[in-house]
Amino acid sequence: MAKRRVEPLLWLLFSSGGLAAALLLPVLLLFFGLVFPAGLLPVPARAHLLSVAHNPFTRIVLFGLCVLALFHWAHRFRYTLYDGLQLKRLSPLIMVICYGGALAGSGIAGYLLLGL
Amino acid sequence: MPDHIILQVTRYRPEREPEPTTQEYEIPLYEEWAVLDGLNHVKDALDGTLSYRWSCRMGICGSCGMTVNGEPRLTCATFLADYRPGPIRIEPLRNFPVIRDLVVEIGDFMRKLPQVKPWLIHHEDATAPEGEVLQTPADLDEFTQYSMCINCMLCYSACPIVGLEEGFLGPAAIALAQRYNLDSRDEGADERMEVLSTPEGVWGCTFVGECTTACPKDVDPAGAIQRYKLTAATQSLKSFLLPWRST
Amino acid sequence: MSGNDTEFHPRWYRRRMSVFWWVSRRSYLIFVLRELSSVFVAWSVVFLLLLVRAVSQGGPEYQQFVDWSSAPWMLALNVVALAFVVFHAITWFNLAPQAMVVRVRGKRVARSQVALAHFAGWALLSALAAWLILE
């Protein structure tokens, strides 16, 4: 069954996504979600951020982070719905929402980051 | 004069009641008594109708697993004095059908266990070894931990997926499969993968980790399962990226 | 496999698992919170992509984003998100050693050391990112 072959690969995405998210999201969210908006440190100049973002290495890392973190969410949230809310009977819909959402997000990330 | 402590024990007599009830027994509280000693006292001196399983009373047979104050415990390894002043709730092991009082039906596990082929698999066409099959201490180290399982079922009781998914193989079965997969004498890893790398196998597990917490023998079934996930996933990836390579 | 009536099995009692099974025990509740952290991981990605879009669009858009992100409710949301994302990281690094067997020169590396290595890597990467953002 195709589902059998795909499940281990989805888990690998979940696993790498968990690691990527754990390593990079805290510091990014700390600065852009808390420190700068709350005025604890001066907001960085747009020009500076643009130059950092334009760096090809940064773009690839950020793109990889976004894709992996989204697929991490998709897999984990899918099982949270199965087990936490016992919604396994809605599995096809849940798969579409979760992995479809992750794919859509990855597309947007690709457009924004790689199309800079 | 010893202290006393109250046991609130689940009773279920299917011939006369539709649902379990609770019955209280007051027993002496001796420092060295385990919960099992308390139950034996109940049966010997207070109420001979109480039904429960036990055998070795020293934590090796795996028979006396019950839910004590909400936690899956071996009652021979759980001491009354630790629950002072009580009362202590004693219920049958969760996630299993209850036959009577504290006795649960473990047929489901007994059917799942052989599915993972928990025995050394040797290919027919391989030549028979001359003399003993040698293993270094390092070889032994690879799987010893997973061979410590006493099939007490505390991990099945602790695992929410066992309760939610009827087909889930469960912690002990998968840990035992690993015991053989990691044994240098075994050649059955591929066969077991067909059973393990399935939604009812490792992929249903979400690493809650309660199985490892409950295990009285430090088997760490959660660790065994996560390690297998990585093994199976790497294997899948290899066959996806390099399909011409035979494993 | 179900409890059919036979002379040996009068009627097994099966308790149905409640939808709120995860509320009944502290360890289960923490587990579900850990799993829900993934929602905030997804939110962080969305927030980051909005930031990238604002930066690449232009000065006014960037300022707009900065203002929007400092609105009290947005700040509160991101504080909660940050807490969950940090919770995700801590639980991830503490659990990772259980899932892997690392050997150095034949000897098994202790779990605590594997965890420590993860935390060290986290600190290093965070410092690098901070330097890139602030410098």
Query: Within a domain: residue A45?
Result: no
- C-beta atoms of C28 and B107 within 8 A: no
User: From the DSSP assignment, how many helices (H) and strands (E) are in chain A?
Assistant: 5, 0
CA of residue B144 relative to chain centroid, distance: 17
B247: pLDDT strictly greater than 90: no
Minimum-distance CB partner of A108 among C49, C74, C78: C49
Q: Which chain C residues are Cβ-neighbours of A30 within 8 angstroms?
A: 82
Q: In degrees to the nearest 10, what's the CA dihedral of B178, B180, B181, B185?
A: 150
Contact yes or no for C13/C2 (Cβ under 8 A): no
Burial state string for B10-35 with b = 16 or more CB within 10 A and e = fewer than 16? bbbebeeeeebeeeebebebbeebbb
Contact C66 A37 (CB under 8 A): yes
Task: Check residue B94 and give its pLDDT.
Answer: 95
Residue A69 lies in a domain: yes
**pTM recorded for the entire structure:** 0.92
Residue C108 lies in domain:
100-135
**Comparing B238 with A29, which gets the higher pLDDT?**
A29
What share of chain B has pLDDT > 70, as a percent?
97
Q: Give the model's pLDDT for residue B131.
A: 80
Q: Which domain CATH number covers A79?
A: 1.20.1300.10
* DSSP at B82: G
B17 or B90, which is more confident? B90
Domain assignment present for C72: no
Buried b (16+ CB within 10 A) or exposed e, A15-53: bbbbbbbbbbbbbbbbbbbbbbbeeeeebbebeebeebb
State both tokens at C17: 């698992």
Please tell me the total count of domains within chain A: 1
The CA-based angle C54-C56-C62, given to 5 degrees, is: 35
pLDDT band with cut points at 50, 70 and 90 for residue B246: low
| Residues of chain C positioned with their CB less than 8 A from the CB of A105 | 42, 45-46, 49
Which residue's entry shows tokens 């990772």? Answer: C96
Residue B213 exposed, middle or buried by CB count within 10 Å (0-12, 13-18, 19+)? middle
**Gap from B38 CA to chain C (nearest CA, Å):** 25
> Which residue, among B13, B99, B110, B165, would best test binding to C if mutated, counting the most C CBs under 10 Å from its CB?
B99
pLDDT tens readout for residues B113-162: 999 999 999 887 667 767 888 899 999 999 999 999 999 999 999 999 99
Q: Is C37 helix (H, G, I), strand (E, B) or coil?
A: helix
Question: How many domains does chain C fold into?
Answer: 1
Q: Which chains touch C (3 or more CB pairs under 8 A)?
A: A, B
Q: Is the pLDDT of residue A4 over 90?
A: no
Q: Which long-range contacts (CB under 8 A, 24 or more apart) does C1-8 make?
A: C1/B107, C1/B108, C1/B111, C3/B97, C3/B105
Locate the domains of chain B by residue range: 3-104, 107-241
Q: Does C89 touch chain A (CB under 8 A)?
A: yes
Give me the mean pLDDT over the A65-69 stretch.
97
Nearest to B210 by CA among B173, B170, B151, B179: B170
- Give one word for B49, left, alpha or beta, with left for phi > 0 and alpha for psi -120 to 50: alpha
Interface pTM (ipTM) of the complex? 0.94
Least confident of A87-96, B134-143, B160-169, B237-246: B237-246
Interchain CB contact of C14 with B (< 8 Å): yes
Residues belonging to chain A: 116
The reply to whether A15 falls in a domain is: yes
pLDDT in tens, C29-52: 999 999 999 999 999 999 999 999
Q: Of the candidates A4, A8, A86, which has its C-beta nearest B233's C-beta? A: A8
CB of C115 less than 8 A from some CB of A: no
pLDDT in tens, A71-87: 999 999 999 999 999 99
pLDDT at C113 (0 to 100): 93
In a domain, C63, yes or no: no
Is A19 a member of any domain?
A: yes
* Mean of per-residue pLDDT scores for chain B: 93
Q: Does the residue C119 lie in any domain?
A: yes
CATH 3.10.20.30 fits B3-104, yes or no: yes
Which chain C residue's Cα is nearest to B210? C27
- 3-state DSSP assignment of residue B133: coil
DSSP 8-state secondary structure symbol assigned to residue B183: -
Q: Work out the minimum CA distance from A10 to partner chain B, whole angstroms.
A: 9
A44 occurs within a structural domain:
no
* Facing C45 at nearest CB: one of A33, A66, A76: A66
How, if at all, do strands B88-91 and B3-11 pair? parallel
Q: Specify the pLDDT at position C6.
A: 52
Mean pLDDT for the stretch of residues C15-30? 92
Q: How confident is the model at residue C1 (pLDDT cuts 50, 70, 90)?
A: very low
In tens, the pLDDT along A23-62 reads: 999 999 999 999 999 999 999 999 999 999 889 999 999 9
Give pLDDT tens digits for B45-88. 999 999 999 999 999 999 999 999 999 999 999 999 999 998 99
Q: Which of A109-113, B13-17, B125-129 has the highest mean pLDDT?
A: A109-113
Q: Which whole number is the average pLDDT over B219-224? A: 96
Residue C126 inside a domain? The answer is yes
Rounded distance, CA B75 to CA A27, Å?
47
Q: Judge whether residue B34 has pLDDT over 60.
A: yes
- Residues of chain C contacting residue A46, judged by C-beta atoms under 8 Å apart: 55, 59, 62
Token duo for residue B117: 């082929």
pLDDT of residue A116: 55
Cis preceding linkage at B243, omega within 30 = no
To the question of domain B107-241 being in CATH 3.40.50.300, the answer is: no
Q: How many residues can be counted in chain C?
A: 135
Q: Bridge partners of B88?
A: B7
Does residue A22 form part of some domain?
A: yes
Task: State yes or no: pLDDT of C66 exceeds 80.
Answer: yes
Helices (H) and strands (E) in chain B, counts: 9, 7
Amino acid at A26: P
Contacts of C95 (CB under 8 A, 6+ apart): B207, B209, B226
Strand pairing class (B71-74; C103-104) = unpaired
Q: Is the pLDDT of residue B227 over 70?
A: yes
